[in-house]
Amino acid sequence: MTKILIADDNKQITSILEEYVKKEGFTSVVAFDGEDAVIKFETEQPDLLLLDVMMPRKDGFEVCREIRKVSNVPIIMITARGEDFEKIMGLEIGADDYIVKPFSPGEVIARIKAILRRIAREEKNVQVFSYDNLKINLEDYTVIIDEQLISLTKKEIEILWTLATSKNKVFSRDNLLNSLWGYDYFGDNRTVDSHIKRLRAKLDQYSHPNWEIKTIWGVGYKFEVLEHV
């Protein structure tokens, strides 16, 4: 059964979310501060995490960073302010999605379902892709360049896979958003830009002279291959 970890110091919000999660047939675990969220994550091994930004002891950003060191479990950040820097910060450190308070519990459930459907689709199509010095394995979600394991988040690997398996094809931001987040995703295409920026920075730490993720200004992105390869 799918287990959701709800981390929020507002007991009224956690109670409502617990009720809605239960109605969908999921189980839930609750943490009321950041340190407890990390402990519950380690002991309960949830399938998805709803993570509030403003929590005592450790904020949601700190919790997300710690979890991303050891796991690619889906994380939906919850922010009260709705400010762009918080959304971008969450995405930069590895969150899969964000939602702004006040929100309807139905919207949260819709986001959860969208992520779980995407994961289910991915698990049905396990493949390995290799090109030049790059190898992407969706079975264990690893990326290797020149025999070196690259530390990427699950979403970054999915973006790289989508681009690399369609070499030289240009994907618009909306293409990537719909393909990787789903048509029922509530965010905007700046989410794509944020993930691409982080992915490119990690890849560029390693030599890959025969290919690159190239920005097509005003359009989107592509995995560009040089002709001499």
Lowest mean pLDDT, pick from 63-77, 129-143, 176-190, 196-210: 176-190
Residue 207: per-residue pLDDT: 92
> Do both 155 and 219 map to the same domain?
yes
User: Is residue 186 over pLDDT 60?
Assistant: no
> Do both 9 and 115 map to the same domain?
yes
Residue 126: per-residue pLDDT: 59
Average pLDDT on 79-101 reads 72
> Do both 74 and 140 map to the same domain?
no
> Do both 8 and 118 map to the same domain?
yes
**Dihedral Cα 188, 34, 7, 118, nearest 10 deg:** 50
* Chosen domain end from 122, 146, 170: 122
Domain carrying residue 117: 3-122
Domain count, the chain: 2
Per the CB < 8 A criterion, the answer to whether 143 and 134 are in contact is: yes
Average pLDDT value over all residues in the chain: 85
Residue 203: per-residue pLDDT: 94
Residue 185: per-residue pLDDT: 54
Residue 163: per-residue pLDDT: 93
> Do both 159 and 216 map to the same domain?
yes
Kindly report whether the peptide bond that precedes residue 102 is cis, defined as omega within 30 degrees of 0. Answer: yes
Per the CB < 8 A criterion, the answer to whether 9 and 56 are in contact is: yes
> Do both 7 and 118 map to the same domain?
yes
Residue 229: per-residue pLDDT: 42
Residue 82: per-residue pLDDT: 59
Task: Map the chain to HEC letters.
Answer: CCEEEEECCCHHHHHHHHHHHHHCCCEEEEECCHHHHHHHHHHHCCCEEEEECCCCCCCHHHHHHHHHCCCCCCEEEEECCCCHHHHHHHHHCCCCEEEECCCCHHHHHHHHHHHHHHHHHHHCCCCEEEECCEEEECCCCEEEECCEEECCCHHHHHHHHHHHCCCCCCEEHHHHHHHHCCCCCCCCCHHHHHHHHHHHHHHCCCCCCCEEEEEECCCEEEEEECCCC
Between 132 and 94, the more confident residue is 132
Residue 164: per-residue pLDDT: 92
Give 150's pLDDT tier (boundaries 50, 70, 90). very high
User: Is residue 108 over pLDDT 90?
Assistant: no
The pTM (predicted TM-score) of the whole model is: 0.58
User: Is residue 38 over pLDDT 50?
Assistant: yes
Average pLDDT on 111-129 reads 78
Give 60's pLDDT tier (boundaries 50, 70, 90). confident
* Chosen domain end from 97, 122, 147: 122
> Do both 115 and 148 map to the same domain?
no
Tell me, what CATH number does 143's domain have? 1.10.10.10
